[in-house]
Amino acid sequence: MERTLLLIKPDGLQRGLAGRILARFEDKGLQILALKVMRMTPELAGRHYAAHREKPFYKGLVSYMTSSPLVAAVLEGPRAVETTRRLMGATFGWKAEPGTIRGDFSNSTSYNLVHGSDSPESAEKEIALFFRPEEIAAYERTSDRWLISEDD
């Protein structure tokens, strides 16, 4: 089992897409372990996007991510990091495949609705930035019996 951090970015919440976006991950069988609406501070944005600090789009990215509240979630499942990224689609909404969240709902370069951790290592770090351990609920889900086989 693997965990990942999902963010429904401010455009997703403002456009009323949070429920539909979250449903895609639930439909796929990923389990929601933690969920909250919060405002990203510039300090948190700096830590979360530290790898992009030197990029030309960094200033705009921080301004976008801190402009309005977002939804943060911890998702769990087999290969949760990769599965989440595949459901999200390519970074640029205008380039992302139809059928993906970005491909279906975004036609922008930067306003692309969702963030998902890019590796299990970044997932661990990012989850710790957004959630205290006691905010993450580990629980048995009866449907897992039919979602995951012993061969998975």
CA torsion angle 75 9 117 126 (round to 10): -90
Among 40, 93, 112, 127, indicate the residue that binds ligand UDP (CB under 6 A): 112
Among 22, 115, 126, 131, indicate the residue that binds ligand UDP (CB under 6 A): 115
Half-sphere exposure of 67 (CA within 13 A, CB side): 14
Q: Report 117-136 residues binding ligand UDP (CB under 6 A).
A: 118
Helix (H) or strand (E) holding 96: none
Specify the pairing of strand 114-116 against strand 70-77: unpaired
98 DSSP assignment: B
Place of tokens 């539909």: 20
Closer by beta carbon to ligand UDP, 62 or else 74: 62
Place of tokens 């491909």: 103
41 contact, one of Mg ion, ligand UDP, none, CB 5-8 Å limit per kind: none
Minimum CB separation of residue 74 from ligand UDP in Å reads: 17
Give me the catalytic one of 84, 115, 116, 123: 115
CA 139 – CA 95 distance, rounded (Å): 37
Closer by beta carbon to ligand UDP, 41 or else 63: 63
Closer by beta carbon to Mg ion, 104 or else 118: 118
Instruction: Give the interface with ligand UDP as residue ranges (CB under 6 A).
Output: 52, 57, 61, 91, 109-110, 112, 115, 118
